[in-house]
Structures are given as C-alpha cells and as structure tokens.
C-alpha cells in the first residue's frame, strides 16, 4: 500500500485523485490533505479517508475544521500549512494539484525529502524548473508529470535517452477562438473565453488555453523536465484533444499517447508508476478516434506562444516573470478590468522588463514578486488610457 498526500484536495485535480484512490481499492493510504478555504468538503474528505493531517491555508476555515474533526486529525493552519504538511507527514507520494506559483514551495518541500512528486502544478517547473530538477537529482526524489501533455511525452519516451529525440510535439486544442480572426479577439467576453470546446478546467487554465499561454508555459516545462532545447519543441493544433503529445525520434519514428480528455488517465499512471495497473478508464473507441486532425499554430492569432519560446531562450528568471505576469493579467481580465488581447500585451511588456535574476528558488520568488508589481502597473496604465 502506497501512502500519499493530496495537495489541493478540494480542487479538480484533488477530487479526481481521490476518485482514483477509490477505484484502486486498497492500493493507497491517504495520509494527509491540503486545501485553501473549502473546509466543509475538506472535512468530509478527511473523515472519508481517515487522514492523519489536514492543512488549510485559511485560518478561519482551519478553526471550523478543527471543531468538526476528531482529535486524531491534526489540523494545520495558515500560509505555511501546505509546506508543513509536506514536511511532517509520512508519505511515499505527493499529488500536487494546487494552482499558481504559491505551489512552488510545496514542490520544494516534497523534493527536499527525496519523495516522489506527481506534479499537476505547472508553475513549479515554469518558475524554478532548473532548481527543482537539481533538487530531485541530489535528494533522490522524482517528478512525475500529471499534465496530460507532459505525461504523454514521459510515456512515449519510455526511458529513452533524449539524445535520440528529434523533437517533441505538444498538442493544443486551440481553445474557443481557434477559428476567429485576430482582429476579432479584442472584444471577446469572459464567458466566451471560458467556453472550452473539449476540456473542463479551472478558470486560469481555461483562459490560458484560449490565449495559448498554457502551451507557452508547457514549452518551459518540457525544456526543464526533459532537458530539451527550444529547437526540439514544437506545438501543433489538435482539435479533438485525443492525442496528448507525440515524440519524434531521430530515425523518423513517431510515438503518440492517446486517450480521452480526462485527467484521471494521467493521474492513474503517475500514482501507480512504474507499474501499469488495471483501471476502469476508457481505451480505444471508434467514435472518439475516428478522425484526428493536426494544424500549425497561427502565431498572429496566438502571439502568446512565442513568449514561451522566448523565455526558454532567455533562461534565468524569465519563466518566473512570464508566469507571474500572466496570473495577474488573467485575474484582471476575469474581473473585467482589461480586454482579452491586453493579456498578451501585458505579459510581453513585463517579460521585456524582467529583473534578470539567476540561480536559486528564493531569487526566482523575488522575480515573481517583482513581476506581479510590474504587471499591476501595466494594468493600471491600460485602464488609465
């Protein structure tokens, strides 16, 4: 039986992780859960899985949870609760579904203990990929990618030496605006941008799919996780979201990983790795696989993608800066403060003014904070004009 902690247990990744636990009868013991302020669902989960620890970032929510749970459950509260859980709990694997750069410190805490990290928090690798990969190597930990695209590449590689890879092809659905003209995007609404054609995801990731910033960030993840330079990373539009990514080897062979647009597949794979274990998940289906199409990315329609490649080439704190700017810009768009096309413009402006720090997670976090301030200033200027 493998002991796990679930970070972000009340969110989409967390609840699906617990679904996998439920479907894998007896394979996992849930040692701890971490959430933000959703204490009622977190308490329900803690009771159901008889956990030892429950971490809640919201102090008031933690007090309510503490009153509702038996004393056998230790409730951790506040900003450090997430990290404290990672530092104190006895587990083999942490499934990390917390959204945003705030999840980086938890990734570091898991890897510092030499544990396995099933990582759905893409910001960790984007902000401090080089540092986390070195930490995993030095402490004996391992990063298992839950993101469907990175998980697909990981499976296609199958342990092959990346020197034998000609290129990897990240697939992108193209989001809700793939058939629009570039000049039409300035007036699109929040509701339109959140209407993803194939996936059900959180708001920030869904907007990232509409701008293709999610692929820009995945380019950075691929660069760090697999050690591939910009020239060997390509993005293609694949409307059906069935082929999650492909690897082309030096002999011209192309391996692809396919499956329905459902995160339970990548979660099941990472949670059971290195074994392949029976799962009640959908396999080959004529209706689903009957038509698979691929198209080049129109960079005029999706200019955000170029920012990811630029960040790979610039290195240093460029990933931290780009991610921070995008988090702030997307929040402003969702709040109705800026237009859809302002997101890319603000991200580009902030990346051009990045501090230029190198080396160390703390320095990357400093650049993250600086970039948020720069993005806020750009948004204020946008609103003023």
Q: Write the pLDDT tens digit of every residue in 11-42.
A: 999 999 999 999 998 999 999 999 999 999 99
Domain assignment of residue 285, yes or no = no
- CB contact at 8 A, 326 and 208: yes
Same domain, 104 and 238: no
Based on the fold, state whether residues 84 and 217 are members of the same structural domain.
Answer: no
Place of tokens 């059971």: 272
Closest CA to 210 of 189, 240, 230: 189
Domain total in the chain: 2
Q: What is the CATH number of the domain that holds 46?
A: 3.40.50.720
In a domain? residue 151: no
| pLDDT of 385 | 86
Nearest to 41 by CA among 17, 6, 85, 9: 9
Q: Are 52 and 199 within one domain?
A: no
Residue 326 confidence (pLDDT): 97
Residue 380's pLDDT is 97
The answer for residues whose C-beta is within 8 angstroms of residue 337's C-beta and 6 or more apart is 379, 383
Are residues 200 and 318 located together in one domain of the fold? yes
Alpha-carbon torsion (154, 156, 157, 158), positive or negative: positive
φ and ψ at residue 185, rounded to 5 degrees: -75, -25
Radius of gyration over every alpha carbon of the chain, rounded to an integer in angstroms: 20
Q: Could you tell me if residue 154 is inside a domain? A: no
CA–CA gap between residue 148 and residue 220 (Å, rounded)? 15
Do 225 and 235 contact (CB within 8 A), yes or no?
A: no
Quote the pTM value. 0.94
pLDDT, residue 150, reads 97
Whether residue 83 sits in one domain with residue 8: yes
Residues 131 and 202 in one domain: no
Distance CA 309, CA 83 (A): 31
Q: Are 373 and 318 members of one domain? A: yes
Distances (CA, A) of 175 to 208, 265, 306, 343, 370: 9, 21, 17, 16, 30
What CATH number does the domain containing 252 carry? Answer: 1.10.1740.10
- Do residues 105 and 240 share a domain? no
| Owning domain of residue 338 | 175-259+298-384
Q: Which residue positions in the chain have pLDDT lower than 70?
A: none
């Amino acid at each position: 039986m493998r002991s796990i902690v679930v970070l972000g247990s009340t969110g989409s990744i967390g609840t699906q992780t617990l679904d996998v636990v439920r479907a894998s009868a007896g394979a996992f013991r849930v040692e701890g859960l971490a959430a933000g302020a959703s204490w009622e669902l977190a308490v329900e989960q803690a009771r159901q899985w008889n956990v030892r620890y429950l971490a809640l970032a919201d102090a008031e929510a933690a007090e309510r949870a503490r009153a509702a749970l038996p004393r056998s459950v230790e409730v951790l509260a506040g900003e450090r609760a997430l990290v404290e859980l990672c530092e104190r709990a006895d587990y083999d694997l942490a499934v990390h579904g917390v959204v945003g750069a705030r999840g980086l410190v938890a990734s570091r805490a898991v890897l510092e203990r030499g544990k396995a990290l099933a990582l759905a928090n893409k910001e960790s690798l984007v902000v401090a990929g080089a540092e986390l990969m070195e930490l995993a190597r030095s402490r004996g930990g391992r990063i298992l990618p839950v993101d469907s695209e990175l998980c697909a590449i990981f499976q296609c590689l199958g342990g092959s030496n990346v020197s034998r890879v000609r290129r990897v092809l990240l697939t992108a659905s193209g989001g809700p605006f793939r058939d629009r003209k570039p000049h039409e995007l300035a007036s699109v609404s929040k509701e339109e941008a959140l209407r993803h054609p194939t996936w059900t995801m959180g708001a920030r990731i869904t907007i990232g799919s509409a701008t293709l910033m999610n692929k820009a960030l995945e380019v950075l993840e691929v660069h760090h996780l697999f050690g591939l330079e910009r020239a060997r990373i390509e993005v293609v539009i694949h409307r059906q979201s069935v082929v999650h990514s492909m690897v082309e080897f030096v002999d011209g062979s192309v391996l692809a990983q396919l499956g329905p647009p459902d995160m339970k597949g990548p979660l099941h794979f990472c949670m059971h790795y290195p074994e392949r274990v029976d799962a009640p998940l959908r396999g080959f289906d004529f209706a689903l696989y009957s038509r698979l199409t691929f198209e080049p990315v129109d960079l005029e329609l999706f200019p955000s993608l170029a920012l990811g490649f630029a960040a790979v080439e610039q290195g240093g704190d460029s990933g931290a800066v780009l991610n921070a700017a995008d988090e702030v810009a997307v929040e402003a768009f969702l709040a109705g403060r800026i237009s859809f096309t302002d997101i890319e413009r603000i991200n580009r402006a902030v990346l051009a003014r990045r501090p230029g720090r190198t080396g160390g997670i703390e320095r990357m976090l400093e650049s993250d904070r600086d970039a948020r301030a720069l993005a806020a200033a750009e948004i204020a200027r946008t609103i003023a004009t």
